[in-house]
Structure 1
Amino acid sequence: MAKFTEKLRKMAFGTVDALKGGHIQKHVDEIATSIAKGSPERAEKLQKILQHAVNTVPIYKGISPESIENFRVMDKNFIRENSASFLSSAFEEHQRIAAVTSGSTGTPFKVFHDRNKKSRNSADTIYFASRAGFSVGEKLYYFKIWSALNHKSFSLRYMQNITPVDVIHLDDNQIEKLIKEIENDGSDMGFLGYSSALELVARYLDKTYHGPVKAKVNSIISMSEGLNEYTKNTLTKFFGTQAVSRYSNIENGIIAQQETDGLLRFRINTASYHIEILGMDSDIPVKKGKLGRIVVTDFYNYAMPMIRYDTGDIGCLSTEDDNYLQTIEGRKLDLIYDTKGDLISSYIVYKNMWQYVEINQYQFVQYGPKDYLFKVNSDSAFGKEEKLVAEFKQYLGKDANFKVEYVDEIPLLSSGKRKKIMNTYHNK
């Protein structure tokens, strides 16, 4: 019965899309073709959006479209302060669709998409979900904050086969119930959600010595936060399918996603975006393998072209293949520095945490040039404090002032995410 219902949903989606002109399926096909073809296809798309921007968008007037380097790099604050100047005159107000995000700062950021861009984002979602093992029509357990504003109607959730999992109330009791529900469900299914919520599931399964979960989980996709290696490997072990991390944002869409080969690198969505990795304090490209600012040019947002948009995130290109980001470190504002002032990878926070199954939640905070705080939420007494401190001092410096604080809860942000890393010193 479950298989039959899944097929009906897939057929219903195809029928609705076909009645509307088949735009989404055409985009899905184009994405697959474009990723296979490579550079010539991307160069043409880039030239078209640059020419359109110069012809119809006030902020880009007078710029030569011959090279993307003629366009200045723009961040969220600049776009917010000059939003009207980014709107294309080729689109009337009723043709623009708002996309709003509060971002990591809590300050609202609104951009506008046109209908073709919206269809493109839907197609990107379908295509990259399929690369992770998910098929349209399958049940999707969606881990995020489900508020009155974003809670889909029951009928829409039924049609899309979405089962909401509210991360605000996600504790061991809720996870236990969820696992039982999943094991009693004969459907093919996938998981999509915040990495911090998926980590809670992984830690529960680990500390309860749960065996392999007996369910048909075909895909596990984390979003909005980096997926640490412990969570990635633990979910893969218990559910029997490779967990992957997706790099996306509201203002653009899906920018990159890990493959199901178990590697940590991210396949860039070269069909929809042009990606640059620029210096921390300059607009000069950095060498492959070196960390820099992730700067995005959107090929498909013609209503509000976003050219050389500084995402605020840090990452590096693969030294082996330009189509991949080797790492994505997260927000520039939350980078970690050792006691000498040198930038170090946030990977040091995640790499050894698999050892500490007693910890439910944790947060690493740098609050001074040599001052660090590790907040721990644990059900039982944590007897490995000295070991944890010694491990971190190996990376931060022997002269690090490293404290451990025990808390009842690491609070969620308004977005539903739980920050693992904060740098309050460099944000001052």
Structure 2
Amino acid sequence: MNIREIAFWVVDFAKGGGIRRDYIDINRVCSSPSIEVDNEVISNLLKHSIATVPYYHTCKFDINTFPVVNKNIIREQWDSFVSDKFDKSTLKVVTTSGSTGTPFPVYMDKRKLSRNSADVIFFSKFAGYNFGMPIIYMKIWVKSRMQSGLVYRLRNFYPIDVLNYSDKDSKFVLKRAKSGNVSILAYASVLDNLSKYMTDNDIAIKRGGYRAMIAMSESLSEHTKANLTARCGVNVVSRYSNLECGIMAQQPADGSAHFFINRASYYIEILKVDSDAPAEIGELGRIVVTDLYNYAQPMIRYDTGDVGAFEDEQKRYISTIEGRRLDLLYNTKGQLISSYIVYKNMWQYREIEQYQLIQEGEKDYKLKISPKNGFKKEEQIVSEFVSYLGDDAKIIIEYVDQIPLLASGKRKKIVNNYKK
């Protein structure tokens, strides 16, 4: 335990030890495969919500009878989702805009904030990072909300704004590894850039340079995961989280591809794409989450907009998480196909710096590419995609200078204009 971690726990103890108690509980539940989601915790949340949250006043005392909600439903009736038990001035408002740029605010009470902090500490350790050790955090940073450079240095924290990410940033990240035991938390697309830079320049880091590498907010391609693991000497893990809830699942640090569900803090369901019936084990469906600890604005059966599949009957692991439902692909027979065929296919074309596959119609697709110095493999790449999408797929290649960033600072690799 380093001095920063010790100081953190001392301060928490002085404030009543709330984060420590939550951490112990999360560790107890997640470390034992025999412990299920606590029915009492669910019952307490439902009782509170029915009694104090207008939207849920008429609900029956059974989570399966609660309606599935999403961002649009909550936005339209926002006040009716907030508990009348709390003084709003004592609550924290967490606002996410997502890919659309439309603000989505969520109230959180002190207990929920404590639980989130404990989740971060537990799942960071799960990936190999201990609080207080040096970490490079790469995402969109809003300057007006950033703390001073001194505060970040005291925390051993290195923020990098990825809005204009370049090779210069990759060089900094690699240089920091020389001091050893550095961890990285970053958008998956930023790790794609780092992976490509290391490949193009034939760079490898000695084991021990990186302590942990965590991808967030987007699907991490198998190639990037494998390449960075090999070149950096540490198993890269992908984290499933969002701002309105927190950390819901994360890959283990042993190199596994599946996601371990945070059943200590969330109750997760996977429902069919076209109905609210449970999806079969292994079947891609909508990820629906119940946040067990936000009493200020309960998120019960909240459709995250993401798609995934349970791996096991006990529902402790998600085998795959494929991102936004609106970013899924259908083949020419109308069958849903894994978006990973795109990632699997594109890594081999090193001359392509950015790309985006768009489904425009039932059998019509457009592949936007931004090559470095021309591209001479059009027939090959079209042939490969035809083999995945269908022999009657019509694929047009469009050359662009770059793929524009979304409001979130990410770039979509897949867009579906056909089934919106």
Question: What one-letter code is carried by the residue in structure 2 that aligns with 1:284?
Answer: A
CA distance in 2, matches of 1:40, 1:203: 41
Deviation (angstroms), 1:406 = 2.1
Question: What one-letter code is carried by the residue in structure 2 that aligns with 1:106?
Answer: G
Question: What one-letter code is carried by the residue in structure 2 that aligns with 1:250?
Answer: L
CA distance in 2, matches of 1:43, 1:73: 19
| Paired position in structure 1 for 2:9 | 14
CA displacement, residues 193-245 of structure 1 (integer Å, 9 cap, x when unaligned) = 10001110001111222233576211000101011101111111111000011
| Paired position in structure 2 for 1:283 | 276
Deviation (angstroms), 1:279 = 1.4
| Paired position in structure 1 for 2:137 | 142
| Paired position in structure 2 for 1:339 | 332
| Paired position in structure 2 for 1:57 | 53
CA displacement, residues 311-347 of structure 1 (integer Å, 9 cap, x when unaligned) = 1111111136410111111111111111122111111
CA distance in 2, matches of 1:253, 1:404: 38
CA distance in 1, matches of 2:118, 2:91: 19
Does the CA contact (< 8 Å) of 1:202 and 1:235 recur in 2?
A: yes
Question: What one-letter code is carried by the residue in structure 2 that aligns with 1:157?
Answer: Y
CA displacement, residues 21-80 of structure 1 (integer Å, 9 cap, x when unaligned) = 111121111101122355555222111111111111111113221x21121111111111
Aligned residues between the structures? 419
Distance 1:187 1:176, change over 3 A: closer
CA distance in 2, matches of 1:64, 1:230: 47
CA distance in 2, matches of 1:187, 1:9: 17
1:330 counterpart = 2:323: yes
Query: C-alpha root-mean-square deviation of aligned residues, in Å?
Result: 1.6
Distance 1:319 1:214, change over 3 A: closer
2:355 to 339, 357, 362: 362
- After TM superposition, list the pairs within 5 Å mapping 1:371-390 onto structure 2: 371-390=364-383
TM-score of the aligned structures, taking structure 2 as reference length: 0.96
Does the CA contact (< 8 Å) of 1:372 and 1:403 recur in 2?
A: yes
2:123 to 121, 125, 128: 128
Does the CA contact (< 8 Å) of 1:257 and 1:266 recur in 2?
A: yes
Deviation (angstroms), 1:356 = 1.6
| Paired position in structure 2 for 1:93 | 88
CA distance in 1, matches of 2:146, 2:286: 34
Secondary structure at 2:38 match in 1: helix
Instruction: Say which is worse superposed, 53-62 or 373-382, in terms of deviation.
Output: 373-382
2:405 to 412, 415, 420: 412
CA distance in 2, matches of 1:41, 1:280: 24
Deviation (angstroms), 1:369 = 1.6
Give the share of equivalent positions with the same residue, in percent. 47
Does the CA contact (< 8 Å) of 2:185 and 2:214 recur in 1?
A: yes
| Paired position in structure 2 for 1:274 | 267
| Paired position in structure 1 for 2:156 | 161
CA displacement, residues 245-275 of structure 1 (integer Å, 9 cap, x when unaligned) = 1011111000111111222111011000001
TM-score of the aligned structures, taking structure 1 as reference length: 0.94
Does the CA contact (< 8 Å) of 2:100 and 2:407 recur in 1?
A: no
Question: What one-letter code is carried by the residue in structure 1 that aligns with 2:326?
Answer: L
| Paired position in structure 2 for 1:348 | 341
Does the CA contact (< 8 Å) of 1:182 and 1:215 recur in 2?
A: no
Does the CA contact (< 8 Å) of 1:289 and 1:318 recur in 2?
A: yes
User: Structure 1, unaligned stretches of length 5 or more?
Assistant: 1-5
CA distance in 2, matches of 1:150, 1:377: 33
Secondary structure at 1:27 match in 2: helix
Distance 1:298 1:369, change over 3 A: same
Distance 1:58 1:190, change over 3 A: same
1:29 counterpart = 2:24: yes
Does the CA contact (< 8 Å) of 2:239 and 2:251 recur in 1?
A: yes
Deviation (angstroms), 1:148 = 1.5
